[in-house]
């Protein structure tokens, strides 16, 4: 396994369902992120975890609930979503303190809410 792995790649759910997105990074990084990417909009930062502690929560609705059990794993728990939540959800990792601070992204989970 290399890089950042996201599962599932595609998810269709009804508004009353509960599901989870999973992200795993194999890079030894100490920070992990969830981004939302909608058509014709910039990447929107949702959550940041540095050393497993949540440091950013950009006014994300409570129907999205992150969990970071260790520095390699990140989850996004979804419940009672709305159709406008349909988007590509991207997980990323980085090494805090590195000069470049570049993000390494997974392939994304394409979510469709019916």
- Binding residues for other proteins (CB under 8 A): 4, 33, 40-43, 45, 48, 56, 90, 92, 100-108, 110
Q: Helices in the chain by DSSP H: which ranges?
A: none
Residue 53: what are its φ and ψ, rounded to 5°? -100, 135
Q: Which is nearer to other proteins, 45 or 60 (CB)?
A: 45
Question: Are 32 and 25 spatial neighbours (Cβ–Cβ below 8 Å)?
Answer: yes
To other proteins, the closest distance from the beta carbon of 24 in angstroms equals 14
State the nearest-atom distance from the C-beta of 59 to other proteins, in Å.
14
Cβ distance 81 to 13 under 8 Å? yes
Smaller CB separation from other proteins, 33 or 64: 33
């Amino acid at each position: 396994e290399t890089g950042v792995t996201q599962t599932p790649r595609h998810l269709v759910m009804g508004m009353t369902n509960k599901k989870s997105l999973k992200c795993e990074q194999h890079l030894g990084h100490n920070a992990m992120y969830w981004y939302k990417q909608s058509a014709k909009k910039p990447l929107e930062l949702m959550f940041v975890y540095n050393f497993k502690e949540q440091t950013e929560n950009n006014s994300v609705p409570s129907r999205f609930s992150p969990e970071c059990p260790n520095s390699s794993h990140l989850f996004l728990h979804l419940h009672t979503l709305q159709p406008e939540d349909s988007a590509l959800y991207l997980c990323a990792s980085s090494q805090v303190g590195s000069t470049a601070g570049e993000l390494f992204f997974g392939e994304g989970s394409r979510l469709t809410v019916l």
